[in-house]
Structures are given as structure tokens and as C-alpha cells.
Amino acid sequence: MVLGELKKEIKGLLSQKRWEHTLRVVSASFELISCLQIEIEANKVETAALLHDCAKDLPLGEQLKKAGYFGIVLTSSDLLCPKTLHGRVGAGIVQHEFGIVDADIIQAVALHTTGGPRMSPLAKIIFVADYIEPGRSFPGVEKLRLLAKKELNGAVLACMEQTLLYLLQRGDFIHPRMIAARNYILAAEDYTLV
């Protein structure tokens, strides 16, 4: 599917508000890879960014049905954190409905809500871009934007920290995959294995 067609299809799946957010994630992703001088094929970046929220506007019941159809196994953590589910369900849609086979794109969509161990540079870019795109406004976002232009792993960790502090403060569930993702990056930085 060429990008023009893909855009049209995705726009049809999303609310106007979500579509505008999606376009901002596309731009933010390109800005990040340019500042960080990371080489990723432009087509992959745009496809992943366009698709990242493709499941988000589906009602939860629909998401669960699709998860079942795609053979996605849900853990108790997924059930406690249903807002994270549209990442993995979205990745199923990317694979099975859009016929995309690129593993980096599929992973970037799957992990944009929680992160995960062994994130590719593309997955990290989409994760951060989604967090700091210009439509976001929360205390500290400007600091994150500056950091993101300099240090990708540091930015992923800082976004996760912000999320974790927010969830702790609210007494809300935390998805253990975010913890595993954070540990993985901390360990990789320690051992310079990235």
C-alpha cells in the first residue's frame, strides 16, 4: 500500500482529534530522527507514526474481539491496564489488516503505549514522539522535548518516569511491561550493549 492510500485508510479509522494528533506524531518523529541523526528509512518512520493509534478509537469490546481473532494472549496486567491494549491490538491490525510485515513497524505500534524490552530505535522514536508531540501540554514537557533532541534512551526513560510517577500518584495500575522496558534500557546503558 502506498503512503497516500494508507493515509486515507487510517484517517477513516480515527476521530478528527486523533487524526490531528497522528499527523503531529509523524512530524515529531521526523524532527527527532533528524536532531538525533538516526538513520531510519523515512517510509518506515511515517508508516509507523501514521499507524500507531490505529486501534485507539475502537471500543474496548472491539479491541478484545480483535485480540482474540489475532491470537493475542492477554495477561492479567493487560486486563488491569486496558488503555495500553490498543498498542498490541494496533500491531495486529497493522499486520493482519494492512498486511505490513516489517517487524520494526509492528513493534513500534505494539510498544508505543508501554514500551518493552529490546525496543528498536524506531519503536523508541514513536514512543517519545507520541509523548512530546506539540499538542501535549503537561508540566515538564518542554524539558522532555529538549532531552529528546539529544538523547533517545534518556528521553524514553524520562517519559517512562513521568508516566510511572503519575500512575503512582493516582494509585493507578502500572503495566509491568513498562518496568521491564525501563530495566532493559538501564541495563543496556550500564553494560553498553545497545
Give kind and range of the element (H or E) at residue 119.
none
Q: Does 164 bind a copy of itself (CB under 8 A)?
A: yes
Distance (Å) of CA 190 to CA 79, 128, 162, 165, 184: 33, 21, 21, 23, 10
Q: Does 176 bind a copy of itself (CB under 8 A)?
A: yes
Q: Binding segment for a copy of itself among 1-9, 36-44, 51-59, 179-187 (CB under 8 A)?
A: 179-187
Shortest distance, CB of residue 17 to a copy of itself, whole angstroms? 29
Q: Which of 53, 174, 192, 194 binds a copy of itself (CB under 8 A)?
A: 174
Shortest distance, CB of residue 88 to a copy of itself, whole angstroms? 17
Q: Does 18 bind a copy of itself (CB under 8 A)?
A: no
Q: Does 188 bind a copy of itself (CB under 8 A)?
A: no
Q: Does 153 bind a copy of itself (CB under 8 A)?
A: no
Q: DSSP assignment, residue 117?
A: T
Residue pair 122/40 in contact by the 8 Å Cβ criterion: yes
**Which of 28, 64 has the CB closer to a copy of itself?**
64
Q: At what angle do helices 16-36 and 3-13 cross, to 10 degrees?
A: 130
Q: Which of 20, 103, 161, 194 binds a copy of itself (CB under 8 A)?
A: 161
Cell of 164: 510511572
**Which of 109, 185 has the CB closer to a copy of itself?**
185
Binding positions for a copy of itself, rule: CB under 8 A: 76-77, 80, 117, 157, 161, 164-165, 168, 171-176, 179-180, 182-183, 186-187
